[in-house]
Structures are given as C-alpha cells and as structure tokens.
Amino acid sequence: MRIVWPLAVAFFFSFTRTLAQQATTAPPSSLLLRPAAVFDGETMHAGWVVLVEGSTIKAAGPADQISTPAGARTVELPGQTLLPGLIEGHSHLLLHPYNETTWNDQVLLESQALRVARATAHARATLLAGYTTARDLGTEGADYADVGLKQAIDQGLIPGPRLLVATRALVATGSYGPKLSVDVDVPQGAQEADGVDGIVRAVREQIGRGADVIKVYADYRWGKGEPSRPTFSQDELTLIVQTAKGAGRPVVAHASTPEGMRRATLAGVETIEHGDGGTLEVFRLMKQRGVALCPTVAAGDAISQYQGWKKGQGPEPERMQQKRLSVQAARKAGVALAVGGDVGVFRHGDNSREAELLVQEYGFSPLEVVQAQTSGNARIFHLLDRGRIQPGLLADLVAVEGDPTQQITALRQVKLVVKGGVVYRE
C-alpha cells in the first residue's frame, strides 16, 4: 500500500487539532436552554429555561421572566428534562470490567501507560453519560496516575468529569492484594501503612501528591476464601481521620462488616462505601454521627453475574440477599444515601446502572435517587458550587429525554451535556 506521507501527516495533525478544540472550546458568552422542564436538584419546574453565561448559571426560571441577551445561542430541548450534571459517587477510572481482565491481572500485568490510556477513554465515556463530577476512590496499583488524569481534564487536554481523587488508598499491611506465593513480593493495589508514624506519613504523602480525599480500607479479607474482618484498630482509624482533617481532606472508608463500619464511624469518616453486612445498630450510629452510606449495589450485581449467576433465573446469591437487608436497615435508620456504583467493576459510561438498581430492586423512588445523584451527592461531598440549578453555580448541566423523576431509565437518554458552560454533547 502506497502512503502519501504529506497528506497522511496533514490529516493526523488536523484530526488531533479537532479533538483538542472539542475538549478546550471556550464557552459562548451566553447560552439559553429551553427544555420541557427543569429539575433544579430538588424540584421539577415545567416551562422553565436556564441562561448560562460563561462557565456559570446566570438565571433560571419561567420562560416569560428570563430575557435573552443579544447574541445568545438558544438550544431548544423539546420533550426533555434539564437537570444538574450528575455526580458519580464511587468510581475507579483506572480499572475496567473484571469479566474483561481480572483485578489481579490489571494490577500486575497491565502497564501504567496502558491503564492511563484506558482511563482517558473512561473519563470521556463518563462525561458523555451525563456525569460531570466523579469521586475516583483509588487507583488500584496505578500510584498517583489519577492526579495526572485530573490535571489533564482540568487543563482541557482531554474531556472528562471534574474529579475528586483518592490516589493510592490506605490498607493495613498484609490485608490487601494481589497475593501470590509467600516467597514473592508483588506490587499492591493500595498503600500499606501501620502504627502512628507509618499512618501519618502515608496520609501526608498522599495529600502532598494531590489527594482530594483519603480512602481507607477499614476491613478486608486477610486470606483467600476468608470473610472480611477489621484491619485497622480504632486508634489507627481515628489518627487517619485526624491527620486528613487537619489538612482539610475528608476520609471515606471501605467497610462491609459491622465492626469495621462501627470503627470507621467512630473515627469520623464521612462516608461508608459498600456496607454489605451493616446492621440496624451500626446504621443508627452512622445516622447519629452524620455518616452517609454509598451502597454500590451495581458492583455486587455485576460481580455475581461474572461468577455465573443468571439474573432472573434461580435463587439470588447470598451476597445479594445480604446487600438488600443492609440497604433496608440503612433506610430504616434514616442514613443519608450517596449514590455511586463502583464503576470500573462494570463498564464506564454505564454509570446509571446504580440508579436503576436502587429504584427497580431496592425500593427507592426515582425522585429520591435523582435528588441523591445531584444535590444530595453535592451536599455530602461538600461541593457547594454544583448539584443544583440556580444562579451563580457552575453550568454543569445534562438534558435527558423524558422525566427521570418518574422513570429512572430516562437517565440513559442523554441528549445534552454541558460542563462549565462548554457543550460536550448535543
């Protein structure tokens, strides 16, 4: 095959320039969005419009009360609901589905360059699915690659959501993985730390390298086939929280046992991730201490299917039954819900799988879940500049076909994505 090199080179640079322009296009001076209705993060408003100026929301209200500035671009969104950009509460952009490659093999065999390349595609898929913000809770063996990914997005080099990154996460020595022969030391999926000096140093190191949040594994499986058990002591967990809070960083805890959840709650973490074995007693303690639950029901659903469960056929796996009881107990105790699916275990861009399961299988109403994925997550994660549609907040917006507060699957019908006033999908 004969290649005309000047033409090929010109095409390459033209294509690259086009992608860069798509990711860095400056927002227009004014953008008027005319949907059928606006969900402001709490309430639905029929007949409202939203005016965007630069990167923020200038006005929102009834169409006859909002004047259109000269030169503004108007986008008609008939039959659609405009809502705040969705917030993904638990993701791992540096992982991809375990039925493609096992977690061990991703950590041990995939180069960091390959994993970052994948994560770039994952970030774009997340944004185009309507998720304009994401908590990324651990690089799982990719060190501080999430910090660079966040910087690339913030600098407009690649499209993606606004990220809150946890970098390496913290585990007690010997409690995590991968684990091979006892004669072989292999890279771990998180940073091992123990005791006063080790914990303080690790927390400070992660913060110094760019962590927005510190994640700790309050319990885990010590050996293959074992149930999860607490890892860090109460004093160690408390020290982790105190050190992080002193630097203005919240702490989140992976915890699935009642004791791990209890210790993490008493230590002062802000969210418990998973909570599979939570009891009414521990959830009441979480409620008392203002700790939210991010149940990640989609991850367990996906893993059970990877392991051979045919959904809708035969008995439900025990882990799924236990998760259902746990979520029921959390609701009874009145624990705040953070919505995040642990995406990375399943496909990025399929983020709304969590919302759908919470409605279809866990008893939440569509309104509750949409509120939680917008204003609720923003409140829990201290993101005061987003999660609602009101003047002065970031112009992070998504339009979907239909009404997601009535039919949760409407979240998949994404027609428009705006982040910081820039239109990424239309």
- Indicate whether 219 belongs to any domain: yes
Rounded CA Rg of the chain: 22
- Indicate whether 195 belongs to any domain: yes
Distance CA 309, CA 165 (A): 33
Query: In which residue are the tokens 């993490």 written?
Result: 264
Predicted confidence (pLDDT) at residue 106 exceeds the cutoff of 90: yes
**Claim to verify: residue 80 and residue 90 sit in the same structural domain:** no
- Indicate whether 2 belongs to any domain: no
Q: Do 380 and 271 meet the contact criterion of CB atoms below 8 Å apart?
A: yes
- Indicate whether 414 belongs to any domain: yes
Q: Give the per-residue pLDDT at 15.
A: 40
pLDDT in tens, 251-272: 999 999 999 999 999 999 999 9
Write down the number of H helices and E strands in the chain: 13, 19
Q: Give the per-residue pLDDT at 225.
A: 84
The CATH number of residue 330's host domain is 3.20.20.140
Q: What percent of the chain has pLDDT over 70?
A: 93
**Claim to verify: residue 416 and residue 399 sit in the same structural domain:** yes
Q: Do 396 and 132 meet the contact criterion of CB atoms below 8 Å apart?
A: yes
**Claim to verify: residue 143 and residue 260 sit in the same structural domain:** yes
**Claim to verify: residue 252 and residue 283 sit in the same structural domain:** yes
**Claim to verify: residue 192 and residue 67 sit in the same structural domain:** no
**Claim to verify: residue 245 and residue 115 sit in the same structural domain:** yes
| Domain range enclosing 206 | 86-380
- Indicate whether 225 belongs to any domain: yes
Q: Do 141 and 101 meet the contact criterion of CB atoms below 8 Å apart?
A: no
SS3 32: strand
Q: Which residues pair with 398 in a beta bridge?
A: 83, 417
Structural domain count, the chain = 2
The pair of three-digit structure tokens given for residue 166, joined into one six-digit string: 């946890």
- Indicate whether 13 belongs to any domain: no
pLDDT in tens, 353-395: 999 999 999 999 999 999 999 999 999 999 999 999 999 999 9
**Claim to verify: residue 274 and residue 311 sit in the same structural domain:** yes
Predicted confidence (pLDDT) at residue 280 exceeds the cutoff of 60: yes
The CATH number of residue 413's host domain is 2.30.40.10
Nearest in space to 399 (alpha carbons), one of 25, 24, 33 = 33
Distance CA 81, CA 35 (A): 6
Q: Do 258 and 279 meet the contact criterion of CB atoms below 8 Å apart?
A: yes
Residue 127 belongs to what H/E stretch?
helix 112-128
**Claim to verify: residue 117 and residue 30 sit in the same structural domain:** no
- Indicate whether 134 belongs to any domain: yes
pLDDT tier at 182 (50, 70, 90 boundaries)?
A: confident
**Claim to verify: residue 135 and residue 280 sit in the same structural domain:** yes
DSSP 8-state class, residue 412:
G
**What burial class does residue 395 get, using C-beta atoms within 10 Å of its C-beta: 0-12 exposed, 13-18 middle, 19+ buried?**
buried
Distance CA 290, CA 300 (A): 25
**Claim to verify: residue 164 and residue 246 sit in the same structural domain:** yes
The pair of three-digit structure tokens given for residue 262, joined into one six-digit string: 């209890």
**Claim to verify: residue 224 and residue 371 sit in the same structural domain:** yes
- Indicate whether 386 belongs to any domain: no
Predicted confidence (pLDDT) at residue 402 exceeds the cutoff of 80: yes
**Claim to verify: residue 209 and residue 321 sit in the same structural domain:** yes
